[in-house]
Amino acid sequence: MALGMLDRTPPPFFRQGPSALTRLMFFAALALFLMVADTRFQLTQPLRAVFATVLHPVERVLRVPVDAWQGGSEYFLGLEDALAAEAKARQELSVQAVRAARVEQLMQENLRLRALLDLRPALKVRSQAAEILYDAPDPYSRKVIIDRGARHGVALASPIINEAGVLGQVTRVYPYSAEVTLLTDKEAAIPVLNNRTQARSAAFGNPNGAGLELRFMAGNADVQVGDELSTSGVDGIYPAGVPVAKVIHIDRRVDSGFARIALAPLSSPDSVRHVLVLEPVGVQMPAKPEPEPAKPASAPAGRKGGRK
């Protein structure tokens, strides 16, 4: 047999088809075509929806253990938080119940003492709402202007308060507005009462314009950081018991007989817009009795009988 007649084709087992580079280019072009077609014409959207629908039950079944674990963890955590909140609420409720009982007891005792001593009831201070318009133009003082004046019944020296405590006092009255000097002004002063020791003193505005200070307090005075001060009510202007300030610093100097006590006002004037204008307590107090005129001294009795 001649060599040219031999079959040189590889057996079917060794046939490889197109080369690897050809197949790579073909499938890359096909992938690019499918991406462009899917983006522009949404060709694979129905197929994707079919697969998502078929695999949805499988996905839900596979998520059952995960959901059960997360739900159980959240349940136990929520139960623990609920039990802690319940315990805290019960504790606060018991404290409020004790406080309410004490307040009721003190009110009843106060009524009995007033009835026993025949004291007049506590003064009911009249008030009206006002709004802070702007700060006073004086940069060296702490004053504000409110939208109530003499036409609205605002009197000179009327106290100005809000829900936190005393803000200041009316120092100048106009027909439709009034000027209020704040407690932090360097010329402001207010008589106060230490709620812990019941000791009376006077609080003055700090000359630096920051807070207040207690002056003329002995170096060994019973004052502690954290003591709250309220109005004493002895000046005839402020009603008693209105919060004023809190002690924040005490400097007991050895070389001085007085202590420097710094106070922080409980009512911040920088974040206040609406206030209450109170009527001075002295307006509602009974008038002082007029002093009785002095009776002329009786003349000494003369001798009986005339001069002979």
Q: What is the DSSP string of the chain?
A: --GGGS--SPPGGG---S-HHHHHHHHHHHHHHHHHHHHHH-TTHHHHHHHHHHHHHHHHHHHHHHHHHHHHHHHHHHHHHHHHHHHHHHHHHHHHHHHHHHHHHHHHHHHHHHHHHTPPPPP---EEEEEEEEE-S-TTS-EEEES--GGGT--TT-EEE-SSSEEEEEEEE-SS-EEEEETTSTT-EEEEEETTT--EEEEEE-TTSSSEEEEEEETT-S--TT-EEEE---SSSSPTT-EEEEEEEEEE-TTSSEEEEEEEESS-GGG--EEEEEPPHHHHSPPPPPPPPPPPPPPPPPPSS---
Nearest Cα to Cα of residue 128 among 158, 171, 167: 158
Is 183:190 a contact under the CB 8 Å cutoff?
yes
Cβ neighbors of 209 (< 8 A, separation 6 or more) are 142, 184, 185, 186
Give the Å distances, CA to CA, from 7 to 1, 13, 15, 102: 12, 15, 15, 118
Q: What pLDDT, on the 0 to 100 scale, is given for residue 110?
A: 77
Is 254:212 a contact under the CB 8 Å cutoff?
no
Q: What pLDDT, on the 0 to 100 scale, is given for residue 123?
A: 54
Q: What pLDDT, on the 0 to 100 scale, is given for residue 7?
A: 57
Mean predicted lDDT score pLDDT of the chain: 81
Nearest Cα to Cα of residue 167 among 249, 64, 274: 274
Mind listing the pLDDT tens digit of every residue in the chain (308 residues)?
Answer: 455 565 566 555 555 667 788 888 988 998 888 788 777 777 777 777 787 888 888 888 888 888 888 888 888 888 888 888 888 898 888 888 888 888 888 888 777 776 666 655 555 778 888 999 988 877 778 899 999 999 998 999 999 998 888 999 999 999 999 999 999 898 899 999 999 999 999 999 887 767 899 988 888 888 999 999 999 988 888 888 889 999 999 988 777 778 889 999 998 877 788 899 998 887 766 666 666 666 665 555 545 444 44
Is 133:146 a contact under the CB 8 Å cutoff?
yes
The first and second tokens of residue 139, run together, are 């940069």
- Tell me, what amino acid is at 162? N
pLDDT tens track for 75-104: 888 888 888 888 889 888 888 888 888 888
Q: What pLDDT, on the 0 to 100 scale, is given for residue 308?
A: 40
Q: What pLDDT, on the 0 to 100 scale, is given for residue 305?
A: 47
